[in-house]
Amino acid sequence: MNSSPNFIGAMIPAKPETNFVLRCADNAMILGQRLSEMCGHAPELELDLALTNISLDLIGQAGLLYDHVQTLEKLAPNADVLALTRDQNAYLNCLLVAQPNVDFAHIVLRQYLFSTFQKRQYEALLSSSDETLAAIAEKSLKEIAYHIRFAKDWVLRLGDGTEDSHERMADALDCLWRYSGELFEKDSVLAAAIDAGLLTDFTDKYEAWQIEVVALLAEATLTPPDDTHMLKGGYQGHQEDHLGHILTDMQYMQLKYPSLQW
């Protein structure tokens, strides 16, 4: 166990409010990191720019949120140490955002499911008792609206495009749908954050979200699998193996050269 103050390790926040903000930060960070893997490798140059834009938005959101976590509970000497030195199971992102960039179908479906959820979650922050958080949500919602527009268009195009693209989308849906249940789950941390006035309860939007998403998928000639066993646990730090490999890259410099300025 590294005892350096520049290493967070297994520590997680004590307060539910901080825990919730850290979840939001990790969601944005890990998805931003995933999308940044595509930089220079997207299937078309125009899409390279688009995916990088979304990645920039998300990592920007993560930065604001990590800074805010630090003001709520000073967990690390600075936000970079907080973002980049925790153990795998101290990351509190939902499982969906760490899913790999299997192909462009997986990328756009992951984005669509996440961004439509994130919109509802951030709308619930607009009237937060925490003004900084409300301001971050307000700024981010404009970015999220664009992410939804981009992802939605491509879900339609790929779902209702060629036979090949349809099959790829069906595969993506088969893989990713099982991570959608976690997005709206109300565990004790979220319940406490809601009680504290940090956000309104967005989990009751789950059904409306499902109706909207299923309708869009239907327009894209896609149907979610029946009776899916929903996978959960990311918000409690029970991460899948994917995250470990993301962190290997993401934490490389901070762990190899602790305490240095870059």
Partner 1 sequence: MQSDNWFLYEVFIRSKNGMAHKHAGSVHAQDAETAILSARDLYTRRGEASSLWIIRSKDIIASDPAESGELYDPADDKIYRHPTFYSVPDGVKNM
Partner 2 sequence: MYSTDLRTDAEKRRAQKADAKRSVEDAAFLDAFQARIDAGDIIEAKDIMPEGYRKTLVRQISQHAHSEIVGMLPEGNWVTRAPTLRRKLILLAKIQDEAGHGLYLYSAAETLGRSRDDMVADLLSGKAKYSTIFTYPTPTWADMGTIGWLVDGAAITNQIPLCRCSFGPYARAMVRVCKEESFHQRQGYEIVTTLAQGTPEQKQMAQESLDRIWWPSLMMFGPPDGASAHSSQNMKWKIKRHSNDELRQRFIDTTVPQAEFLGLKIPDPDLKWNEERGRYDFGDIDWSEMWAVIKGGGICGKARIRARKAAHKEGEWVRAAAAAYAQKRNSEKAA
Residues near partner 2 (CB under 8 A): 29, 33, 36-37, 39-49, 52-53, 55-56, 59-60, 62-63, 66, 79-80, 83-84, 103-104, 156-158, 160-162, 164-165, 168, 246, 249-250, 252-254, 257, 260-262
Residue 59 binding: pick among partner 1, partner 2, none (C-beta 5-8 Å cut-off by kind): partner 2
For the chain, count helices (H), then strands (E): 10, 0
Rounded CA gap, 121 and 201, in Å? 9
Closest to 12 measured CA to CA, from 24, 20, 3, 1: 20
Smallest separation (angstroms) from partner 1 to the CB of 151? 11
Residue 150 binding: pick among partner 2, partner 1, none (C-beta 5-8 Å cut-off by kind): partner 1
Residue 14 binding: pick among partner 1, partner 2, none (C-beta 5-8 Å cut-off by kind): none
Residue 250 binding: pick among partner 1, partner 2, none (C-beta 5-8 Å cut-off by kind): partner 2
Smallest separation (angstroms) from partner 1 to the CB of 153? 6
- The amino acid sitting at 63 is G
3-class state of residue 3 by DSSP: coil
Nearer to partner 2, 48 or 73 (CB): 48
Q: Which of 10, 39, 49, 145 binds partner 1 (CB under 8 A)?
A: 49
Stretch of 43-51, 131-139, 193-201, 233-241 lying at the interface with partner 1 (CB under 8 A):
43-51
Q: Which residues pair with 9 in a beta bridge?
A: 86
Helix or strand holding residue 137 (H, E): helix 131-159
Burial class (CB in 10 A: 0-12, 13-18, 19+), 134: middle
CA-to-CA separations, 90 to 10, 18, 26, in angstroms, rounded = 5, 13, 10
| Distant-in-sequence, close-in-space partners of 88: CB < 8 Å, separation ≥ 6 | 239, 243, 244, 247
Tokens read off for 115: 């961004």
- Show the binding pattern over residues 115-154: x = contacts partner 1 (CB under 8 A), - = does not: ----------------------------------xx--x-
Smallest separation (angstroms) from partner 1 to the CB of 56? 9
* Contact flag: residue 46 with partner 1 (CB under 8 A): yes
* Contact flag: residue 163 with partner 1 (CB under 8 A): no
Q: Which of 1, 44, 226, 256 binds partner 1 (CB under 8 A)?
A: 44
Closest to 67 measured CA to CA, from 77, 58, 57: 77
Q: Which of 30, 50, 96, 217 binds partner 1 (CB under 8 A)?
A: 50
Note the Cα 174 to chain centre separation in Å. 19
Rounded CA gap, 166 and 170, in Å? 6
* Contact flag: residue 112 with partner 1 (CB under 8 A): no
3-class state of residue 11 by DSSP: coil
* Residues found near partner 1 in the complex (CB under 8 A): 44, 46, 49-50, 53, 149-150, 153
